[in-house]
Amino acid sequence: MASTPDLRIVCMGAGYVGGPTMAVIAEQCHNVRVCVVDISQAQIDRWNSDNLPIFEPGLDDIVKARRGINLFFSTDVDAEVKAADIIFISVNTPTKRSGLGAGRAADIKNCELCARKIAEVAESDKIVVEKSTVPVRTAEAVQRVLSSNDKGLSFQVLSNPEFLAEGTAIADLRAPSRVLIGGQQTPAGLAAIKRVADVYAKWVPAEKIITTNLWSSELSKLVANAFLAQRISSINSISALCERTKADVYEVSRAIGTDPRVGPRFLQASVGFGGSCFQKDILNLVYLCESFGLPEVAAYWQQVVTMNEYQRDRFSRIMIESMFNTVTGKRIAIFGFAFKKDTGDTRETAAAFIVKNMLAERAICAVFDPKVEDEEMYKELGYQGMSETSHPDLKKLVFSQESPLDAARGAHAIAVMTEWDEFKDYDYEELYSVMQKPAFVFDGRNILDHAKLREIGFEVYVIGRG
């Protein structure tokens, strides 16, 4: 950028949310200098290379066009934070693994660390924006930590949750359904909201920019994810009933989705939802409800997660029962390991839980996914309790293959875990020819041509279709 920028934005956390979000701000606002900082040197090195750390359609092109001009990636957190006008906090807030609220509460340790860092190095007033999904009232904690800076500076804390979905992040950011900005309803708070709203206003129509108080904004993100996940759990619960009654869940979903009050989206029955947000955010909501003395409300939302666990276990059970009640020593081709298509992200993927259940039965899982890296797969399996320490023969029982044909060779079954488009176009006659017979297909995403597969000779199971 030749001239001095009008505004300096820094984002702490170069992950699935921070990276794409800042790339699109840089793309849309050429007069804003955007810098993404991260404590991980490896992560920043990849953002500065041709091999970005995350796969997201369209992201490469933006980074290529804006990097070094008004988009930067750095580990020099102190200098960047010091120079910033607006600081986004976009670090991860995973479910706590130990201590109070373990397994449910969100760990906001990273957000607090960011606030402490800002308090430590700031020498001018800042607007601090929570981008990470956080429990309601986190802004209060962030504000208090910032206040420990005793240089007489003013900090305004805002909440601006991100609603992008992975795989469509760039499209979602360029044309968001809405931008939500929450802040204190004081003159200074409202002025800070306006400043951040003005950035988005460069490309987002005014009527799509919603402003609220801080707590509504923080809570809305958790509630949005809880409602979306609830739709999936609702239709998944009905898929089980369909299988018993010979109703077809895809017909039911179409029939109810045409009611505009219900709407067609997020009614796709599946092997279960995954991803870094849904389970984490609902568990967090459940924990919050309990903490505020609302056990019935907590139980209501807990059921969304329980139903998801049920669906994954039900799918595994059907696989085992179909294959004559034993999969011991049998090879199973796992098609897809990402939690959804068009991403290499494996966090909380349903595939890991199916693999876990297969591993318990001592089946052999040959995994093929077009984007997931081996290291990520084993990392996720590790999170779900499958490491080489607990399972010394893990890498003999679960491994990836270079092609679908390699995965299918000698397998008794193909289990579709991710709805990758390319899975629809494979030569299933060829796959059938290299498999054990009878050859099974368990379509956890209902994406294949089942009539054709049956014609070839496969035994096919589809969720919610008897």
For position 40 contacting ligand UDX by CB under 6 A, the verdict is yes
The residue (of 215 and 266) whose beta carbon lies closer to ligand UDX is 266
What x-and-dash track marks residues 157-176 binding ligand UDX by CB under 6 A?
-----xxxxx----------
Half-sphere exposure of residue 106: CA atoms within 13 angstroms, side-chain side: 27
Residue carrying the six token digits 């996940």: 229
76: amino acid identity, one letter: D
For position 275 contacting ligand UDX by CB under 6 A, the verdict is yes
Min. distance of Cβ 311 from ligand UDX in angstroms? 9
By CB under 6 A, which span of 35-43, 62-70, 204-212, 436-444 interacts with ligand UDX?
35-43
By CB under 6 A, which span of 38-46, 285-293, 324-332, 361-369 interacts with ligand UDX?
38-46
Q: Which of residues 81-140 bind ligand UDX (CB under 6 A)?
A: 90-93, 110, 113, 131-133
By CB under 6 A, which span of 78-86, 122-130, 190-198, 276-284 interacts with ligand UDX?
276-284
Which two three-digit tokens encode residue 346? 């494996």
Find the angle CA(355)-CA(356)-CA(359) to the nearest 5 degrees: 85
For position 73 contacting ligand UDX by CB under 6 A, the verdict is no
The one-character DSSP state at 422 is: G
362 dihedral zone (left: phi>0; alpha: psi -120 to 50; beta): left
CA nearest to 279, candidates 240, 309, 300: 309
Find the angle CA(413)-CA(414)-CA(415) to the nearest 5 degrees: 115
Helix, coil or strand: residue 416: strand
Q: Does the annotation mark 111 as catalytic?
A: no
For position 210 contacting ligand UDX by CB under 6 A, the verdict is no
For position 383 contacting ligand UDX by CB under 6 A, the verdict is no
Among residues 242, 277, 289, 365, the one annotated as catalytic is 277
- Helix residue spans in 323-449 (DSSP H): 350-360, 374-383, 394-397, 404-408, 428-434
Dihedral pair phi/psi, residue 416, rounded to 5° = -90, 115
Q: Which of 155, 278, 337, 378 binds ligand UDX (CB under 6 A)?
A: 278
Min. distance of Cβ 271 from ligand UDX in angstroms? 8
The residue (of 43 and 156) whose beta carbon lies closer to ligand UDX is 43
Torsion of CA 364, 370, 371, 372, to 10 degrees: 0
Number of residues engaging ligand UDX in binding (CB under 6 A): 40
Q: Which helix (H) or strand (E) holds 193?
A: helix 187-200
The CA distance from 11 to 3, in Å, is 22
The CA distance from 301 to 225, in Å, is 11
What x-and-dash track marks residues 314-353 binding ligand UDX by CB under 6 A?
-------------------------xx-------------
Min. distance of Cβ 304 from ligand UDX in angstroms? 12
The residues assigned a catalytic role are: 277
User: Which residues are at the interface with ligand UDX (CB under 6 A)?
Assistant: 12-18, 38-40, 43, 90-93, 110, 113, 131-133, 162-166, 225, 228, 232, 266-268, 270, 273-278, 339-340
